[in-house]
Amino acid sequence: MLVSRRKRKENKNITVYLNNKSLEQVTQIKYLGIILDHKFRFHDHITYAAEKSAKLIHSLSKAGKLICGIKHEAIATIYKGAILPQLTYGAPVWIEAMNFEHNRHK
């Protein structure tokens, strides 16, 4: 992945070799659980975290229905222990992306 602050339109395809083999150039990578794109917009990371949390909420709600209801204290504990850390992981890195309305919506 090529990261640059240049705004000039130029050829951004650079061929990099490692052990005489060409490396594939990508537009995003996952590093330490945070999806970074070439412009550091974090749109894909926010989408990924929202979908992952939605799956967890869905599975917890199904489990809660099987147990015949969970008390509010237990739901708050599950939220604080499982869902909130998943949503805020790496927030100091990507929190500035939340200034945009489309990211806050997700």
Tokens found for residue 89: 């992981």
CA–CA distance, 72 with 45 (Å, rounded to integer): 30
H helices of 1-106, in order, are: 43-66, 72-78, 84-88, 91-94, 101-105
Could you read off the pLDDT of 9-52 as tens digits, one per residue?
766 777 889 999 998 888 889 989 889 888 888 888 888 988 98
Write down the domain spans for the chain. 42-105
47-104 residue pLDDT tens: 898 898 888 888 877 776 656 667 777 777 888 888 888 888 888 888 888 888 877 7
Check whether 7 has a pLDDT greater than 60.
Answer: yes
Rounded to whole angstroms, the Cα distance separating 86 from 74 reads: 18
